[in-house]
Structure 1
């Protein structure tokens, strides 16, 4: 080390070195880190299972081959393959999900705070879009079988079946646990007081109470 460096310079070098050691590339010191789901999740992921208990089943998942139940209010089903369902994804910065949309089905306006998303249409026609955070510009596209669309991290987006039959899509995320917040449920499926919802959405009292009743909210 150059002992002629001033203390601020030394501190800067140490901070850079610490940042490099804490970067995702540090995970390369081991082949994998299968999640120990008995422990708590953290921003860095789940702790690793003991290598002696890891099997090939930790790296395979059959859940996306089973259609989801679309007999619900949104006529759609999301089957996740996040770290909680697929421990082998832990620390790898990716996950997947299956989207089943019956005729008229919709994945409401929502956001994934921790990941970008790619949608692949396997069957039918899906209209998808997202809204930019600056100018609130809408990027909307009707996607047919074999087409894909990307949704940048954290932006509000949606998908709905715009075809004449069932639609099927598969999505991939840039995180093992992308997070999810559905706007409609966040506003109307909890105990947020109606007068507050009316104030922040410009909806009238009757509309708010109707939506709370439909989505199971109170207040």
Structure 2
């Protein structure tokens, strides 16, 4: 697994012929009626009122939108909440939303595993496990973790002591580099090791679903074309 940390932005410029005044009025009318409906529909997906959604949109235009451009609505509103009650409210809503998302992902993972067994019963995408003590200290490992995960924290602490090169993937980071930096600070990741590429910090990008077998944390070692799960 290699880090994909480069982003590009393509701006497309289009030129159209002037529309008649009647056409212009028609377009303006359509936009004025469609936009609120779209916002209301999107807000309802997150369990938010139109007022809350408007505040989220305003926050995106300010400092928070610059610091954390990919932050979801519930986290954005929670981080920028003006009271403890508001913070608790959005935290509860986010936990419920995350639970629903994880349940869907795990259900798909189970369906994926079943499909693999039907189509390739003699092969497995991830082979049998190996123990950490069997792995040389120079062997690079892929580590999948989540924020606010006690088991993940303990696993990372153990792995940092082994000295193995680590490619750490933060699941559910939403491509927010701020969350990667915050996680690294909390876990005291050695900047020198990061500078030498002995440790890399990465957005998961769906890799955990493909390789993690539903485990959290998940530690993998690559041998040839096979990924081996690593246990203590």
Q: Same fold judged by TM-score > 0.5?
A: no
TM-score, with structure 1 as normaliser: 0.31
Larger strand proportion of the pair: 1
Identify the structure with bigger relative contact order (alpha carbons < 8 Å, sequence gap 6+).
2
TM-score by length of 2: 0.30
From the two aligned structures, give the one with the greater helix fraction: 2
